[in-house]
Amino acid sequence: MYYLLTVLFIMVALLLIVVVLMQRGRGDVGSAFGGMGQGVFGPGGVDTILTKATYWLGFMLMGIALLISFFHPSKRGSLLENEGKGANTQTQQSVPKGQTAPSGTPSGGKSP
């Protein structure tokens, strides 16, 4: 199920990219930099098939992303439950055989 959703997610994402790139620009360059373009306060434009497809593909992409997160094959359980298990490992470093630790270190013996 997870892999089917992943393939579907990639297909919808690529289709969404194609549909967005096929659309016409809404305004001129001046509207992007704070100027008043014609499309900013003009009449509420007509929703074309491409804009409706963009909305639906965007909703589908978000829905599939949520489904993928539910069906992910990773370990189940809480991350907080697994957090305490790693604390049992030894954190103190030991000095290799045949070498002495520099003075002033906790395992070196002498301190200044």
Looking at residue 21, its amino acid is L
For residues 30-49, average pLDDT: 59
Q: Which long-range CB contacts under 8 A does 43-52 form with residues at least 24 apart?
A: 48/23, 50/19, 50/22, 50/23, 51/23
- To the question of pTM greater than 0.85 for the whole model, the response is no
> Can you tell me the distance from the alpha carbon of 70 to that of 5, in angstroms, rounded to the nearest whole number?
11
Is the confidence at residue 49, as pLDDT, over 70?
yes
Measured between alpha carbons, how far is 104 from 41 in angstroms, rounded to an integer?
A: 72
Structural domain spans, the chain: 1-24+48-73
Is 27 a residue whose pLDDT tops 80?
A: no
112 pLDDT higher than 90 = no
